[in-house]
Structure 1
Amino acid sequence: MISDHHAGPPAKGGPAGRSELRLRVLSAAVLIPVALFIAWWGGLPAFLLAALVSAIVFAEWASVTGHSAKLLPTTPDVSIGTAFVALATLVAGTQGLGTGLAVLVAGMVGVALLSRSAWLAAGVLYAGLLGIALAALRADADFGLASVTVLLVLVWATDSFAYFAGRSIGGPKLWPRVSPKKTWSGSLGGLAGGVILAALTAAAFGLRVGPLLIFCLAFLSIASQAGDLFESAVKRHFDKKDSSGIIPGHGGMMDRVDGLIFAAAAAALIGWAHLGAERVGQGMLAW
């Protein structure tokens, strides 16, 4: 993800800015190894982590859109939405992508009928797609670990290179009405850095890095940046700065994985269209 402050140094590099950057680095130093370890482990632990992250994202979405004052579900519609997001993720990992999507759609319809809110129903889809996509990718017997690792490296590298390119180069704004600090230099730097590191990661797994894979990775990097802009637009619409404060230096879970949501959903869709629901990871990587 590429948060609004990625394109420029907070507090002009003063104590507040350095403190925030320190918190970001410390949080990443804890979260990234945990995510990679559980991705390596695979199976039910990986599906459970994806379900937990997705459930937190939905709870934050409910809070941002004014349907909940707390992250813990306090109303039936938010509770049901949280449950269906987590359930759909577990089903996608154990029973397949199509079945997981069917469960998610059922949850989305149920929340829409119960809450009478298109925003809350959209949150079920938004959060659920993250869990379903990650679970389906990791469930690929032969390419699961490679696909999830490449995807995570792509999103993290896009995020980091965009941050440093935006800080060091600056220049014209990308979309000032939605995200005033993002620049074209940051976006292009994130695209280049993300694709290069993801391609190197794919090569480390013994995969052929040809033009079609490079094109796929570039598309997913752009999707990651689009996911960040989408979350910025939603928060701006509801006049929110962060989705929550559960991750020091990063805000909420939704702030941390906004780019991953769009990139993971796009990766799963590409893999599904390419080689079918049983080989989503291979379909994403093998070109």
Structure 2
Amino acid sequence: MQSELRLRILSGIVLAIVVLAATWLGGLAFRVLAAAIGLLVYYEWSTMTRLAERDFRANAFGWLSVALVAALVVFAFDELALPVLLGAAVLAIVYALASQGSNWLAGGVAYSGLTVISLAAIRGDTAHGFAAMLFIFAVVWATDILAYFVGRAIGGPKLAPSISPGKTWSGAIGGAISAVIAGTLLHMAFFSLDGLWVPVIALVLSVFSQIGDLFESFIKRRFGVKDSSRLIPGHGGVMDRVDGLVFACFAAFLIALGDAIVSSAANTPAGVILFGP
């Protein structure tokens, strides 16, 4: 048991160093990290849902779609990545309807591709993007840690017993409160706090982070698997580690995209839109 715990701690430290170093560097380093995460997520998604076993051609299309989106992001063709992803997802849905195939293909393409796009768009190449990414890390990590400890300490009604029996409403609320505090303090380390926008967005991202955790639990329960894979020693799979982060980034990216459309700031980086002065 002690050796397993040491392995878990060591691999966790290595992961944290890699992620934080890429976040600090930004640019190509972070784009490559985002692309790698998206591709590994699709690998785990297709494995858990048995896409390769059910329909080899459909799974090959999924790999090609996610790889193309990842390549566009890595080489900074951001304006093409989202339209390509939307087109691939629509084609996957049409294929599933025409062949009576699995809808998990479209879900995997959308989930994995949006992971790449949202991570890279939020970090961008600016100081605001760096602050925005750290803000999301603080919100997600505070949510995960405090939800666990508050849930164990207080207990009470289950949050979603049919999906994840261990989660409680007390843990969810405690995690959300801690996320608001952590996110607000992180923001104040970079910028002055002006109004309630930052605490509100921290709360929204915390809620989405918990939804992401439940969503992955639903998939694993649906297909009878304990971990998304065994890629990370002592931790399971990539999805097991980034499920909440991915959904929080989805929410942040969509908020920034919506704000950019309304304010006609299409060329403004997402991190600047979310956390600009």
Q: TM-score range by the shorter chain?
A: 0.7 to 0.9
* 1:241 counterpart = 2:244: no
Query: 2:212 corresponds to which residue?
Result: 227
Letter in 1 for 2:41: V
Partner of 1:25: 9
Shift of 1:90: 4.4
Q: CA deviation at 1:206?
A: 2.3
RMSD of aligned alpha carbons: 2.3
Q: CA separation of 1:105/1:249 partners in 2, compared to 1, >3 Å: closer, same or farther?
A: same
Verify: 1:198 aligned to 2:183, yes or no: yes
Q: Following TM superposition, by how much is the alpha carbon of 1:108 offset from its aligned partner in structure 2, in angstroms?
A: 2.4
1:43-67 C-alpha deviation (Å, 9 max, x unpaired): 1111111001111001100011111
**1-structure distance, mates of 2:153, 2:234:** 21
Contact 1:57 1:253 in 2 (8 A): yes
Residue ranges of structure 1 left out of the alignment (5+ in a row): 1-14
Instruction: Say whether the 8 Å CA contact 2:5–2:234 is kept in structure 1.
Output: yes
Q: Which residue is 2:103 aligned to? A: 118
- 1:283 aligns to 2:273 (yes or no): yes
TM-score by length of 1: 0.84
- Answer whether contact 1:213 1:286 (CA < 8 A) is retained: no
Shift of 1:236: 1.0
Aligned-pair CA distance for 1:161? 1.4
Residue aligned with 2:225, SS: coil
Which secondary structure does the structure 1 equivalent of 2:227 belong to?
A: coil
Q: How many Å separate the matches in 1 of 2:8 and 2:143?
A: 16
Q: Is residue 207–residue 286 contact of structure 1 (8 Å, CA) maintained in 2?
A: no
* Cα drift, residue 22 of structure 1: 4.4
Distance 1:147 1:140 in 2: 11
1:163 aligned residue:
148
Structure 2 partner of 1:59: 43
Give the CA deviation at 1:170: 2.0
Alignment of 1:166-177 (within 5 A): 166-177=151-162
| Equivalent in the alignment of 2:84 | 103
- Between the aligned residues of both structures, percent identity stands at 45
| AA aligned opposite 1:133 | S
User: Secondary structure, in 3 states, of the residue corresponding to 1:283?
Assistant: helix
Name the CA distance, whole Å, in 2 between partners of 1:142 and 1:87: 28
Whether contact under 8 Å (1:199, 1:209) holds in the other structure is: no
Instruction: Label 1:207 to 1:82 Cα distance change in 2 as closer, same or farther (>3 A).
Output: farther
| Cα distance between partner residues in 2 of 1:105 and 1:92 | 15
Aligned equivalents of 2:217, 2:194: Cα separation in 1: 33
Amino acid at match of 2:156: G
- In structure 1, C-alpha distance between the alignment counterparts of 2:178 and 2:154, rounded to whole Å: 15
Measured in 2, the distance between the counterparts of 1:29 and 1:241 equals 23
Residue 8 of structure 1 corresponds to which residue in structure 2? none
Question: Residue in 2 aligned with 1:129?
Answer: 114
Higher relative contact order (CA 8 A, sep 6+): 1
SS of 1:174's equivalent in the other structure is strand
**Contact 1:224 1:263 (8 Å CA) reproduced:** yes
* Counterparts of 1:32 and 1:256, CA distance in 2: 11
The CA deviation at 1:89 is: 3.8
Using the TM superposition, give the Cα deviation of residue 40 of structure 1 relative to its aligned residue in structure 2, in angstroms.
Answer: 1.0
Larger deviation: 119-128 or 166-175? 166-175
Aligned residues: 266
- Partner residue of 1:44? 28
Alignment-mate amino acid for residue 95 of structure 1: F
TM (norm. structure 2) is: 0.87
1:4 alignment counterpart: none
